[in-house]
């Protein structure tokens, strides 16, 4: 393992985040704070609690997950797409750096930025609503696994995209709607039975449910299923990344 190569890529990406701190940290935190104000005032006045949890506190895991998914994909996709766009990716590919080390550098930096953002949002949420983390170790585990999985997913999008506009297609048209419909602001148990069944086909439901369980000990689906689904998503992303480097898809053309 070429640790220096991984460190060089990782530190370069983290330095880019420091240069764009307004976009990568400040903007998502302000947006999430607005969700607390708007949803807490508009919906919280009508829904006092969900499963015995105050509505403002109930939506915290969903809001963190909403930002986590979006930022993981955005950071990783842009991180690998820009070197492709400028042509500097060929310098990386020709260097004595393995595919694993490249992925660790780029996806690891994207996941780190997302985890830092998630922690900041949690700290911000504590200003607005009372927070209680019943299973802190599992909370961190879900946070890290989700950030790593969707950073890999973003890495795949960055390889697939052949234009800046395509970097936004999947997050805006697929991931964000799935997150909003995945129980970010409500429990799927509040839905009529037919729609509850439909919701279970939404993969984001399992991520949010498991993350919420780590806070309050309540979940829409069994926590073991949530953890298993997260592991499946991670394995699938790893397989696709491995295929990309094995075939050179949009890297060596």
Q: In Å, what is the CA distance from 18 to each residue of 15, 110, 149, 224, 235?
A: 5, 13, 23, 37, 30
Task: Please tell me the predicted confidence (pLDDT) of residue 183.
Answer: 87
First to last CA, the chain: 27
Q: Long-range CB contacts (< 8 A, 24+ apart) of 52-59? A: 52/218, 53/216, 53/218, 54/129, 54/130, 56/128, 56/129, 57/129, 57/130, 57/131, 57/132, 57/216, 58/187, 58/212, 58/216, 59/35, 59/184, 59/185
Task: Please tell me the predicted confidence (pLDDT) of residue 141.
Answer: 93
Task: Please tell me the predicted confidence (pLDDT) of residue 40.
Answer: 65
Task: Please tell me the predicted confidence (pLDDT) of residue 241.
Answer: 92
C-alpha span between 49 and 6 (Å, rounded): 46
- Tens-digit pLDDT profile for the chain (253 aa)? 788 988 999 998 888 877 777 777 788 888 877 777 777 666 666 777 777 888 888 888 988 998 899 889 988 999 899 888 888 888 888 888 888 899 999 999 999 999 998 999 888 888 878 888 999 999 999 999 999 999 999 999 999 988 888 888 888 888 889 988 888 888 898 889 898 999 999 999 999 999 999 999 988 999 999 999 999 999 999 999 999 988 888 876 5
153 close to 245: Cβ distance less than 8 angstroms = no
Extents of the domains making up the chain: 3-247
pTM (two decimals): 0.90
User: What DSSP line would sit under the chain, residue for residue?
Assistant: --HHHHHHHHHHHHHHHHHTHIIIIIHHHHHHHHHHHHHHHHTTTT--EETTEEHHHHTHHHHHHHHHHHHHHHHHHHHHHHHHHHTTHHHHHHSS--HHHHHHHHHHHHHHHHHHHHHHHHHHHHHHS----S-HHHHHHHHHHHHHHHHHHHHHHHHH-SSTTHHHHHIIIIIHHHHHTTTSSS-GGGS-HHHHHHHTT-HHHHHHHHHHHHHHS--SS-HHHHHHHHHHHHHHHHHHHHHHHHHTTTT--
C-alpha span between 127 and 200 (Å, rounded): 32
């Amino acid at each position: 393992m070429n640790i220096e190569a991984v460190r060089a890529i990782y530190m370069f990406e983290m330095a880019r985040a420091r240069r764009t701190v307004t976009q990568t940290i400040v903007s998502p935190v302000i947006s999430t704070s607005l969700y607390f104000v708007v949803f807490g005032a508009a919906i919280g006045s009508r829904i006092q609690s969900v499963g015995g949890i105050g509505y403002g506190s109930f939506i915290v895991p969903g809001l963190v997950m909403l930002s986590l998914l979006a930022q993981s994909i955005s950071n990783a996709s842009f991180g690998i797409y820009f070197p492709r766009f400028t042509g500097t990716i060929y310098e990386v590919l020709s260097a004595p750096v393995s595919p694993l080390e490249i992925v660790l550098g780029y996806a690891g930096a994207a996941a780190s930025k997302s985890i830092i953002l998630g922690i900041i949002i949690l700290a911000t949420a504590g200003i607005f609503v009372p927070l209680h983390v019943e299973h802190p170790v599992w909370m961190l585990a879900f946070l890290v696994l989700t950030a790593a999985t969707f950073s890999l997913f973003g890495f795949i999008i960055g390889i697939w995209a052949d234009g800046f506009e395509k970097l936004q297609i999947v997050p805006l048209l697929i991931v964000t709607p799935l997150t909003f419909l995945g129980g970010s602001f409500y429990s799927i148990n509040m839905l009529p039975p037919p729609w509850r069944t439909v919701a279970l086909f939404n993969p984001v439901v399992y991520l949010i449910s498991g993350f919420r369980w780590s806070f309050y000990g309540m979940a829409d689906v069994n926590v073991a299923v949530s953890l298993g689904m997260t592991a499946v998503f991670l394995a699938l992303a790893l397989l696709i990344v491995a295929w990309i480097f094995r075939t050179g898809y949009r890297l060596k053309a």
